[in-house]
Amino acid sequence: MRFRRPFALLGLLLWAGLAAAEPATKSIPEPPAAVTKAQPESIADLKAFQKQTRAVIDKVIPATVCLRVGAASGSGVIVSRDGLIMTAGHVSGEPGRKIKIVLHDGKTVDGETLGFGPAIDSGMARITTPGEWPYCEVGAAKDLKSGQWVIATGHPGGYKKGRSPVVRVGRVGLRDDRAVQSDCTLVGGDSGGPLFDMSGKVVGIHSRIGQAIAANIHVPSDTYRDTWDQLVKSEIVGVSPYFGVTKDEDAKECKLAAVTPGSPAAEAGFKAGDVITRFDGKDVANYDEMVKMLQAQKPLARVTIEVLRKDEVKELKVKIGWRRS
Amino acid sequence: MFKRYVLPALVVVALAVPAHAQRSARKDSGPVPTKNSATFLALFKPTVETAARSTVRIQVDGKDAALGTVLSEDGYVLTKASQVKTGKVTVKTRDGRDFDAQVTAASDLYDLAVLKSEGTGLVPIAWSPSSAAPVGNWIAAAGAGDTPVAVGVVSVAARTVPPAYRAPRVPTEKSGFLGVVLDTQASEARIDRVNPESAAEKAGIKAKDVIVSIDGQEVIDQESLIYTLLGYQAGDKVKIVLERDGKRMELAATLGKRPADLLPPKEAPKGKGKGNRGDFQNRMGSELSERRSGFPTFLQTDAVILPTDCGGPLVDLDGHVLGITIARAGRTESHAIPSETVEALLPVLLAAKPDATPAQRVDAARAALEKAEAAKAPTDVVSEAKRILQAAVAEEKWWKEHPAEPGPAPREVDRGPAPRTVGK
């Protein structure tokens, strides 16, 4: 035990040195011409290229993480000093889940999932263990040109003890507002991992693959910038609130003709024939009024609803669901 | 029970990118560029100029099986062992000569075999330390021609993988069994239930315990617990360190037998198995080597190499030979055995001359083992030297007991025809 203390202190000092205020990627030099020209033309070009690659990965590897969400495993990248992580929507999934985050050196910290965009597969999480973390800047995917070189890191096959985040270098092929394709090969476990431009800025997040070796699809970084606040606030981006009932057209009041099986309404115990009288503390006169109140709700919000069922007033609690808008 | 790796959720079959997306202007690489496009490969010609002179094509029964790396002027060649297991082996040089070859020694562990061909005037390879090429550096896999067979970057530096993580071990009837159900909602090895009458129950393991290590081998997640336990047999005694209510404690367990209904179904034909989702994804887009895991020490690159192009030199931009390509291991990875490891292993594989008597083989294997130990060779190299010595001893014993037999002698591994020249 006597020997523990000095080591702990040493660890603290090293750690303090690591947690710079600036993004880790700030000190990466501008890419040389060898990297930006249509194609490197000589061994000298390739040498200049690999020097840049090393400069980038030195800085971005410490920000590449593995996310353990339940028994599933994906990747992510730290993008703020206080530990915000960009990942794929299908990795983080439902907001508010407690997760484990494995840092590049195998150290595990606590985290939670934040918002996600199911339509485009964007997702966000956060390290909850207090600290300052090495982080990367977020670039603009819309500026990517076909043929432009990019670097991928991540944890293919999940985090493997003793293996640093795995580096791949490739070129962007096709790109639009919803997807970036490159020949940086990806496989299960890479999901959520970052794609960088040659100055170390995050331009994409690994999402899915196709049969061809070059069919590796990344979520463009721009969608994260555009929906940043929503993601950080644990919202589900690009969806409408979903309840799961249909209107009884013959009734003047808010009477339900049917309840969709498996829907939030069904889970909460609503039944066909129920008449909704109050929604989140407000009186409901008819179905359309209820729909307006529903639309004002955020997905995953918990709402108390009063119904009249066979002359009996019942209070039901529903967790608002979502569906793609 | 095994961990799920997410990506796969959304496997697209075609590139679902709308038509207005930008397209590459390059003509040689189709709609999307890859590192193996002809112009990009050609750029790397100077890097493989020297190494390619020491690279040969290995054919088995007239079909391309692997590449080979020349070890000596008089016809010794290093190649991927599992690609030359059976059949007639031919070494084809780049100047168009064909030589018959025989496997004289092999390491199953590293999947490397030494061939002795009748070739002469071959150019031996010069190895360089793989540590000279850090992660991110360009690499090229030399072929027997002017142009490399594949290029890429170093994805992960050479590393030695602890035995428990080397290969997905397959449970058998003899595998040790603890008798716990893991909490699938946890990432760590947290126990959900303890089976009644199981080894775990007898050892005092309880639900919610988190297993931290087995016999000092660190358990970082559920997968590593499973793999570590699969390294033991029923009846083995293990020390289990676990955390209970935040406190560490150590328990001793005697592993039990795995119930028959928890054994995997009988093995499917090679390469035809259904496999898991990770395996399915790894097979997307390129053909994988049949033997592609279990190498103790390897360097990982993102080059897309054909399984039949493994066994040749891997070089950096300066033409330094960093190692020998050993497997197309997955969609994102090809592996190479680093030069440092090859150089430690070669004396062991080259110890016995092909025409040595059984007694000479034993002496040579013993000397190689002693040398490897004296040189503080990697543990795995020393264990290969031991295994080769044991095989030589067994072979010598067999010959002594069967003086009248024409052979072949029993062999632990299939390394070609038995020695023809017998001592007595």
- Whether B254 is covered by a domain: the verdict is yes
In a domain, A41, yes or no: no
Taking alpha carbons only, the member of B87, B80, B66, B89 closest to residue B111 is B80
| pLDDT for position A15 | 40
A73 and A197 co-located in one domain: yes
Tell me: do A210 and A250 sit in the same domain. Answer: no
- For an interface test with B, give the residue of A54, A153, A161 to mutate (most B CBs within 10 A): A161
- A206 close contact with B: CB closer than 8 A: yes
Q: Is the residue at B356 inside a domain?
A: yes
Give the pLDDT score at B7. Answer: 46
Q: Report the number of distinct structural domains present in chain B.
A: 2
Flag whether A276 is in a domain.
yes
| pLDDT by residue, tens only, chain A of 325 residues | 333 333 333 333 334 344 446 888 888 999 999 998 878 999 999 999 999 999 999 999 999 999 998 878 899 999 999 999 999 999 999 999 999 999 999 899 999 999 999 999 999 999 999 999 999 999 999 999 999 999 999 999 988 888 999 999 999 999 999 999 999 999 999 999 999 999 999 999 999 999 999 999 999 999 999 999 999 999 999 999 999 999 999 999 999 999 999 999 999 999 999 999 999 999 999 999 999 999 999 888 999 999 999 999 999 999 999 988 7
A16 in any annotated domain: no
B35 contacts B260 by C-beta, under 8 angstroms: no
Q: Cα(B269)–Cα(B275) distance, rounded to whole angstroms?
A: 11
Return the number of other C-beta atoms located less than 10 Å from residue A252's C-beta: 9
Residue labelled with tokens 């890479």: A190
CB–CB contact A217 B165 (8 Å): no
A319: helix, strand or coil: strand
Which of residues A181, A213, A237 is at a domain's end?
A: A237
Its pTM surpasses 0.90: no
pLDDT in tens, B215-240: 888 887 777 788 788 878 889 999 99
Alpha carbons A75 and A166: distance in angstroms, whole number:
11
**A84 and A218 fall within a common domain:** yes
DSSP B303-345: ----GGGTTSEEE-TT--EEEEEEEEEETTEEEEEEHHHHHHH
A147 within a domain of the structure (yes/no): yes
Please report whether residue A267 resides in a domain: yes
CATH of the domain at A87: 2.40.10.120
- Cβ neighbours, 10 Å, residue A264: 22
Do A214 and A243 have their domain in common?
Answer: no
Location of structure tokens 């021609």: B145
ipTM at complex level: 0.86
Same structural domain for residues A265 and A296? yes
Residue type, A184: C
Residue A196 and residue A144 share a domain:
yes
B194 bridge partner residues: B180
Domain boundary among A237, A270, A289: A237
Asked if residue B380 belongs to a domain, the reply is yes
The span from the CA of B403 to the CA of B397, in Å, is 10
CA trace torsion B359, B361, B362, B365 (10° rounding): 160
Residue A309 lies in domain: 239-324
Q: Smallest CA–CA separation between A169 and chain B, in Å?
A: 7
| B contacts of A218 (beta carbons < 8 Å) | none
* CATH (domain of A272): 2.30.42.10
Task: Say whether both A264 and A220 belong to one domain.
Answer: no
A218 and A263 share a domain? no
Residue B410 in domain: no
**Greatest distance between any 2 Cα atoms in chain B:** 79
Q: What is the 8-class DSSP label of residue A211?
A: S
Q: Would you say A189 and A155 are in contact if contact means Cβ atoms under 8 Å apart?
A: yes
Question: Domain for residue B151, yes or no?
Answer: no
pLDDT of residue A21: 63
Beta bridge partners of A321: A242
Token pair listed for B166: 């080397």
Q: Are B187 and A171 in contact (CB < 8 Å)?
A: no
Q: Which domain holds residue B254?
A: 176-262
b/e string for A21-45 if b means 16 or more Cβ within 10 A?
A: eebbbeebeebeebbeeeebeebeb
In one-letter notation, the amino acid at residue B40 is F
**Regions of chain B where pLDDT drops below 50:** 1-3, 7-30, 267-275, 410-424
Are the Cβ atoms of A173 and B33 closer than 8 angstroms?
Answer: yes
Of A210, A237, A264, which residue sits at a domain end? A237
* CATH number of domain containing B242: 2.30.42.10
Set of chain B residues whose Cβ sits within 8 Å of the Cβ of A190: 7, 332
How many structural domains compose chain A? 2
- The verdict on A148 and A260 lying in the same domain is no
- Say if residue A269 is in the same domain as residue A189: no
Residue B62: phi, psi to the nearest 5?
80, 0
Task: Work out the widest C-alpha separation in chain A, in whole angstroms.
Answer: 85
On whether both A292 and A194 belong to a single domain, the answer is: no
Distance, in Å, from the CA atom of A65 to the CA atom of A88, rounded to the nearest integer, reads: 13
In angstroms, the CA B315 to CA B313 distance is 6
Nearest one of A99, A63, A60, A59 to A78, comparing CA atoms: A63
**Partner B contacted by A57 (CB < 8 A):** yes
Domain termination residue (choose one: B262, B290, B308): B262
Angle at B60 between CA B58 and CA B62, to 5 degrees: 95
| Same domain, yes or no: A162 and A303 | no
Residue A80 lies in a domain: yes
Give a yes or no: residue A46 inside a domain.
no
Q: Name the residue with tokens 């690489």.
A: B29
Domain-embedded: residue B219: yes
B16 and A218 Cβ atoms separated by less than 8 Å: no
How close is the nearest chain A Cα to the Cα of B250, in Å? 18
Q: Which residues contact B137 (CB under 8 A, 6 or more apart)?
A: A50, A53, A54, B153, B154, B316, B317
Given this model, what pLDDT does residue B218 score? Answer: 81
Q: Please report whether residue B336 resides in a domain.
A: no
Give residue B18's pLDDT: 30
Tell me which of B5, B159, B286 to substitute to probe the interface with A (most A C-beta atoms closer than 10 Å).
B5
Size of interface A-B (CB pairs under 8 A): 250
Q: At what angle do helices B379-401 and B358-374 cross, to 10 degrees?
A: 160
Residue B20 lies in a domain: no
In this structure, the number of other CB atoms found within 10 A of the CB of residue B235 comes to 12
Q: Which of B202, B232, B262 is the last residue of a domain?
A: B262
